[in-house]
């Protein structure tokens, strides 16, 4: 090495050092986080890193990586730092404007796609759409369905519009509505991931979750205030064969199904996510509507 040439750590050493830094700051899965950040900086796939461990980072890349690593250590979500998240094969922009799309919600969409098979619902409403992850994934899977995406937050809808444009799904309808306030017509399927965190539990949530909009988290004293409003108003927008599908909290599935039944919904069932947590509720419109 020539005199005056700065020593440059191999990529693997940089990865190890960053992992240790994140671990000291309480970041779970620190190694995986660092791999994602490093791949993001280098513009490659995470798995490609294993073929490049002997390389050294350019100073400009190293400086960018330091900044991202510091922000991750301070609790900024990985998805916000990367800018996008994969959801059922769709690349969606993810930032502070809406709830980060999560694997549980991805599994709910997968359940619905398999449930309807080759006979998808003609009209679908994604209530409290946030980033648009549910409605856009269903619109992609069901190209003949009419899909409406609604949310009370204009910021969230800006993100929904961005993701819609990126995916080229110009046929979906996007509108601002406080639950069913501005919704007209009926839908064969209304699917929703409403705010369901009890307000008293929000201060104890992880640093990352607290970066999500409070509007997307706060479900009132027991977490089910908005869910109950939704179930009360939904029947007026369902045909006789219409269904609702909800994602709720880890201990709210059966309480939600029982409340739906008390309102006249029938064939109510609770389904578990991949971790065995019963958080999905499916129910058919009340017969009396």
What string of pLDDT tens digits covers the 289 residues of the chain? 444 445 567 899 999 999 999 999 999 999 999 999 999 999 999 989 988 888 888 889 999 999 999 999 999 999 999 999 999 999 999 999 999 999 999 999 999 999 999 999 999 999 999 999 999 999 999 999 999 999 999 999 999 999 999 999 989 999 999 999 999 999 999 999 999 999 999 999 999 998 889 999 999 999 999 999 999 999 999 999 999 999 999 999 999 999 999 999 999 999 999 999 999 999 999 986 5
- Every domain of the chain and the residues it spans: 11-74, 94-284
Can you tell me whether residue 125 is helix, strand or coil?
strand
Written as six digits, the tokens of 11 are 């990529």
Tokens 């969409």 sit on residue: 109
Written as six digits, the tokens of 18 are 């960053």
Q: How many CB atoms lie within 10 A of CB 183?
A: 20
Class of 94-284 in CATH: alpha beta
CA gap 71, 80 in Å, rounded? 10
Pairing state between β 266-272 and 243-247: unpaired
Can you tell me whether residue 288 is helix, strand or coil?
coil
The answer to the question of whether 33 is labelled as a binding residue is no
Q: H helices of the chain, where?
A: 11-24, 30-42, 59-73, 78-82, 103-116, 133-141, 154-167, 225-233, 253-262
Are the C-beta atoms of residues 192 and 128 closer than 8 Å to each other? yes
CA gap 47, 151 in Å, rounded? 37
The answer to the question of whether 193 is labelled as a binding residue is yes
Q: How many degrees, rounded to 5, is the angle at CA 222 between CA 132 and CA 193?
A: 15
Q: Indicate left, alpha or beta for 14 from its phi (over 0: left) and psi (-120 to 50: alpha).
A: alpha
Are the C-beta atoms of residues 287 and 261 closer than 8 Å to each other? no
CATH node for 11-74: 1.10.8.10
Are the C-beta atoms of residues 169 and 135 closer than 8 Å to each other? no
Same CATH topology for 11-74 and 94-284: the answer is no
Note the pTM of the prediction, 2 decimals. Answer: 0.91
């Amino acid at each position: 090495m020539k005199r005056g040439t700065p020593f440059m750590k191999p990529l693997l050493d940089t990865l190890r050092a960053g992992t240790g830094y994140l671990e000291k700051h309480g970041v779970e899965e620190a190694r995986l986080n660092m791999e994602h950040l490093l791949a993001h900086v280098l513009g490659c796939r995470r798995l490609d890193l294993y073929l490049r461990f002997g390389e050294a980072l350019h100073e400009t890349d190293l400086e960018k990586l330091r900044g991202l690593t510091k922000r991750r250590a301070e609790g900024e979500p990985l998805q916000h730092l990367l800018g996008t998240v994969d959801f059922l094969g769709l690349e969606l922009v993810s930032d502070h404007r809406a709830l980060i799309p999560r694997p549980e919600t991805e599994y709910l969409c997968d359940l619905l796609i398999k449930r309807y098979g080759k006979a998808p619902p003609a009209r679908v409403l994604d209530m409290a759409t946030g980033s648009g992850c549910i409605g856009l994934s269903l619109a992609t899977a069901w190209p003949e369905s009419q899909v409406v995406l609604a949310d009370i937050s204009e910021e969230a809808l800006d993100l929904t519009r961005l993701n819609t444009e990126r995916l080229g799904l110009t046929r979906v309808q996007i509108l601002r509505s406080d639950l069913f306030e501005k919704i007209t017509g009926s839908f064969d399927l209304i699917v929703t991931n409403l705010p369901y965190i009890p307000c008293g539990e929000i201060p104890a949530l992880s640093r990352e979750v607290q970066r999500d909009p409070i509007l997307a988290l706060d479900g009132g004293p027991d977490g089910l205030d908005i869910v109950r409003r939704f179930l009360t108003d939904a029947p007026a927008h369902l045909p006789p064969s219409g269904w609702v599908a909800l994602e709720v909290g880890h201990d709210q599935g059966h309480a939600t199904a029982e409340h739906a039944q008390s309102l006249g919904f029938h064939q109510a069932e609770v389904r578990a996510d991949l971790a065995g947590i019963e958080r999905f509720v499916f129910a058919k419109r009340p017969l009396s509507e």
